[in-house]
Amino acid sequence: MLKDKYIDYLRFEKRYSAHTILAYHTDLDDFTKFLSLQYSVTDPLQADHNLIRSWLINLIDRKISPRSVNRKLSTLKSFYRYCQKQDMIQNSPMLKVVAPKTSKHLPVFLTRDNLDDLLGKVEFTPDYEGYRDKMILTLFYATGIRRTELIQILTTDLDLDKGTLKVLGKRNKERIVPFGENVINMLKEYLDKREEFLTGNMHSIQNNNHSLFVTSKGLPVYPRLVHTIVHKYLSLIASNSKLSPHVLRHTFATHMLDYGADLNAIKEILGHSSLAATQVYTHNTIEKLKTIYKQAHPRA
């Protein structure tokens, strides 16, 4: 089946993450169901730009956000490019489809005061879970890694002598991320607590042994748990509507830029494939400069 071959192409040749592959799979399912129900078309290769535009209008009528609509259209662009490479079609029907405009949202980030409160004033329980939760928050802010990257970290990925972390990023690209002496000391303390927890509960939990962060059952932490942990603690010190792990990634990048870090260096640490993705953080810095200018300049 064409769709299955395309998904295999994404998985094995493009080496996309499971999360991205699921999104592409869902988008294609939605498109093919629309074609079948509305036009009795069962083969997406028979769809022209008019049918795709009709689907686009249907998505908008369903109140799907422009950003999500654009992602779905990107899925179709990728799919039809694949079909062209396989000589299944001569031209992509997406050439005549115009994506809706989206408003640019600046990344949400926390202030330095927020972070000082989070890591200096918020109380964490003295048991393993308390140490784990604080370590997760600290590592997010100290390295700017993604949630999926944090979940995959093994104890063997840490080099405490060099102060570095090996991270498996998007498309299975490895990178080395540095961290400072304070984080090294916290990790040493955390690893002792982790070992004590796993050893003391060997009879009642399934010991994973290798995952850096584990649940109360000794299994690797999972996306929902990590999101819950981050949201729980960030809600104590900030009132932003979006209090997800990605906010700490944005905060890391923004603070690095504010304190003079080179944009290319931030790009490498974050694991961005292009500088354009990193440049969004310069907007926050510019907005901050505008505010300072208006407050300080006598003729502003």
Examine the fold and report which residue of 63, 96, 129 is the final residue of a domain before the chain moves on.
96
Which tokens is 275 given?
């500088």
Establish whether 132 is a catalytic residue.
no
Residue-wise pLDDT for 248-293, tens only, equals: 999 999 999 888 888 899 999 999 988 888 887 776 665 555 565 5
Note whether residue 224 is domain-resident.
yes
pLDDT at 105: 66
Same domain? For 82 and 122 the reply is: no
Instruction: Please give the helix or strand (H or E) that residue 282 lies within, else none.
Output: helix 280-296
Please provide the average confidence, as pLDDT, over all residues in the chain: 90
Task: Return d(Cα 263, Cα 148) in angstroms, integer.
Answer: 23
172: left (phi over 0), alpha (psi -120 to 50) or beta: left
Residue of 72, 147, 193, 272 marked active site: 272
Establish whether 203 is a catalytic residue.
no
Residue of 11, 166, 170, 231 marked active site: 170
Examine the fold and report which residue of 96, 128, 148 is the final residue of a domain before the chain moves on.
96
b/e map 221-240, b = 16+ CB within 10 Å: beeebbeebbeebbeebbee
Same domain? For 194 and 137 the reply is: yes
The pTM of this model reads 0.71
Q: 283 φ, ψ to 5°?
A: -65, -40
Residues in the chain: 300
Establish whether 112 is a catalytic residue.
no
Same domain? For 193 and 261 the reply is: yes
Note whether residue 184 is domain-resident.
yes
Residue of 147, 249, 250, 255 marked active site: 249
Q: Please give the tally of structural domains in the chain.
A: 2
Note whether residue 105 is domain-resident.
no
Examine the fold and report which residue of 48, 68, 96 is the final residue of a domain before the chain moves on.
96
Q: For residue 144, what is the domain's CATH number?
A: 1.10.443.10
Note whether residue 242 is domain-resident.
yes
Same domain? For 92 and 116 the reply is: no
Establish whether 170 is a catalytic residue.
yes
Range of the domain at 38: 2-96
Note whether residue 132 is domain-resident.
yes
Asked if residue 173 lies in contact with residue 268, where contact means CB atoms within 8 angstroms, the answer is no
Same domain? For 48 and 116 the reply is: no
Task: Return d(Cα 293, Cα 61) in angstroms, integer.
Answer: 43
Asked if residue 67 lies in contact with residue 80, where contact means CB atoms within 8 angstroms, the answer is no
pLDDT at 101: 80
pLDDT above 80 for 7 = yes
Considering Cα of 254, then 160, then 153, then 224, what sign does the dihedral take? negative
Note whether residue 140 is domain-resident.
yes
Same domain? For 162 and 235 the reply is: yes
Residue of 146, 147, 193, 250 marked active site: 146
pLDDT at 170: 86
Confidence of residue 159 (pLDDT cuts 50, 70, 90): very high
Note whether residue 28 is domain-resident.
yes
Establish whether 67 is a catalytic residue.
no
Task: Return d(Cα 270, Cα 273) in angstroms, integer.
Answer: 9
Same domain? For 55 and 194 the reply is: no
Quick one: average pLDDT of 110-133?
94
Burial zone of 203 (CB within 10 Å; 0-12 exposed, 13-18 middle, 19+ buried)? exposed
